[in-house]
Amino acid sequence: MARAIWKGVISFGMVVIPVKMYTATESKTPSFNLLHRKCLSKIRQVRHCPVCDEYLGSEDTVRGYEYAKGQYVVLEESDFQKVPVKTIHTIDISGFVEAHEIDPLYYRGSYYLEPEELGAKPFFLLREALLATHQMAIAKVTFQGREHLCCLRPLDETLMLHTMYYHNEIRPPSDLVLPRRQAEIAPEELKMATTLVNAMAKRFRPEEYEDEYRLALERVIEAKIQGEEVKAPAAPVGKVADLMSALRASIEAAKRESAREEARTEEAARRRPRQHG
């Protein structure tokens, strides 16, 4: 596990639980450097002060807040640690809710929590209480320069912390310019669409999904390294089909895929070594 990004305590009523926080996700997207096209050298991003006509190092810069046009107040790194909120060092639980009450729209980032040795018993007690009550804890915590609304939930043998957007950070769908319905949906159309949904229903297995764009991009990179020509795929030509015809064709395709999936599952079961008791 990588280095902890935050250390502090969970405040649960009068109970205090020392914990560490770790990032639960990582990007697999290839990273690129900006190069000078002429010589393919990696370029440097320089800080330049146009008033003093000086190039600056990181030690020459400070963060400033513009409180009036052209007027700044400087905040040193130590000032950020003086912000008078207890969530700088505390995951402050304010209540508990059922998971279905939180719309996924509010979720932001995912983090693992790990108890310090002295906090192991109350940590696992909180986890068991959440499992027993089917509840999630609502809390606040400050890290990475802001106070996050968050929720805590059990996952395997630990607790997950999900940061969340505040309500005033969510853009309402009323901002969208949606077309009005041209006609009512016919009962037969709804029936066919429901049949298609049921035909495509399956268990969510995240390991079945991969970032196809990333894999294809890596193949393009490898081809460029080998000096091979890379051809762009042809754009698909989309035809607007009759809705009912498209639904029928989609249902048939889904049934065929379901049959193939069943066959693959049965074949895998046959190949699996039998347990001898």
The two tokens of residue 55 are: 């190039």
The per-residue pLDDT for range 74-114, each reduced to its tens digit, is 998 888 878 888 899 999 999 999 999 999 999 999 999 99
User: 250 in helix, strand or coil?
Assistant: helix
Q: Residue 218 to residues 208, 211, 213, 234: CA-CA distances in angstroms?
A: 19, 11, 9, 19
Check whether 277 has a pLDDT greater than 60. Answer: no
CATH architecture, domain defined by 6-26+84-167: Beta Barrel (2.40)
Check whether 152 has a pLDDT greater than 70. Answer: yes
Lowest mean pLDDT among 39-48, 144-153, 172-181: 172-181
- Which candidate, 6, 24, 19, 9, places its Cα nearest to that of 143? 6
Three-state SS for 73-138 is: EEECHHHHCCCCCHHHCEEEEEEEEEHHHCCHHHEEEEEEEEECHHHHHHHHHHHHHHHHHCEEEE
- Which candidate, 197, 190, 218, 205, places its Cα nearest to that of 28? 218
The per-residue pLDDT for range 218-257, each reduced to its tens digit, is 888 888 888 888 888 777 766 656 888 888 888 888 888 8
The per-residue pLDDT for range 186-223, each reduced to its tens digit, is 888 889 899 988 888 888 888 888 888 888 888 888 88
Tell me the pairing of strands 6-12 and 90-98: parallel
Q: Residue 204 to residues 75, 208, 209: CA-CA distances in angstroms?
A: 47, 9, 10
Cβ contacts of 253-262, under 8 Å, gap ≥ 24: 254/196, 254/199, 254/200, 255/199, 258/199, 261/202
CB atoms within 10 A of CB 162: 20
**Residue 89 to residue 80: CA distance in whole angstroms:** 13
**Residue 113 to residue 163: CA distance in whole angstroms:** 13
Q: Residue 158 to residues 2, 43, 104, 119, 170: CA-CA distances in angstroms?
A: 16, 44, 21, 13, 29
Check whether 276 has a pLDDT greater than 80. Answer: no
User: Domain boundaries in the chain?
Assistant: 6-26+84-167, 47-80
Q: Residue 82 to residues 7, 90, 100, 141: CA-CA distances in angstroms?
A: 17, 14, 37, 15
**Residue 195 to residue 249: CA distance in whole angstroms:** 12
**Residue 4 to residue 2: CA distance in whole angstroms:** 6
Per-residue exposure over 185-202, b if at least 16 CB sit within 10 Å of its own CB, e if not: eeeeeeebeebbeebeee
Check whether 182 has a pLDDT greater than 70. Answer: no
Q: Phi and psi (nearest 5°) for 245? A: -65, -40
The pLDDT value recorded for residue 95 is: 96
